[in-house]
A and B are shown apart, each in its own frame.
Chain A
């Protein structure tokens, strides 16, 4: 496998469920990111990990909880979400945080909260 892979591609959950999004990068990059993409809004940076350490938490509600066990894997744990959290969640990686604009994105996880 090459690039950045995300699973699941689609997820429907109720407001009381707990689920996780998974991201894996095969590029040897040192920085990984979670972005949220909603209709008619710019891409919103949620979290940044550099060398497995969280370096950015962009005022994201605590119902979103990231985890980075190593430089190749990134998770986003979801619990007690709201319908307005329905969006496309994109994982990305870059060579390092210094190259934060040269992002390689996964295909995204389309989340629907009922």
Chain B
């Protein structure tokens, strides 16, 4: 059974600090990894995709992939209250497996 594991949280981070979200996956053959943000009562929105080992930066967001450790992370710099949401990690290629999500709360 292919799985994606995330800590459900909530993860509380002070405004302006770095929020670090982590994810592990079981399918060693996965080549594609994704982070989605889901605000309460809304649908998921893709914020980052990463396909190669290392870091990928997009504005305040950095995705990190370590295929040897089967580990993906998302860093959010200069956290804002508007970043408060549930973050879903996903992996896979033609069939995507989602984690249960981590609730992030940015403290003003």
Give me the interface of A with B, judged by CB distance under 8 Å.
40-43, 45, 56, 90, 97-98, 100-108
Contact = CB atoms under 8 A, between A and B. Distances in A.
A77 B97 CA distance: 24
Given A45-B95, A90-B43, A107-B43, A101 B100 contact: no
Nearest to A106: B43
Contacts of A98: 94
Contacts of B91: 101
Given A42-B100, A101-B32, A101-B34, A108 B43 contact: yes
Given A43-B98, A102-B46, A105-B43, 13 more contacts: A41-B100, A42-B4, A42-B88, A42-B97, A45-B95, A90-B43, A98-B94, A100-B96, A101-B90, A101-B92, A102-B49, A103-B36, A103-B96
A44 to B, nearest CB: 8
30 contacts: A40-B100, A42-B4, A42-B88, A42-B97, A42-B99, A43-B44, A43-B88, A43-B98, A45-B96, A56-B95, A90-B44, A98-B94, A100-B93, A100-B94, A100-B96, A101-B34, A101-B49, A101-B91, A101-B92, A101-B96, A102-B34, A103-B36, A103-B44, A103-B46, A103-B96, A105-B43, A105-B45, A106-B43, A107-B42, A108-B43
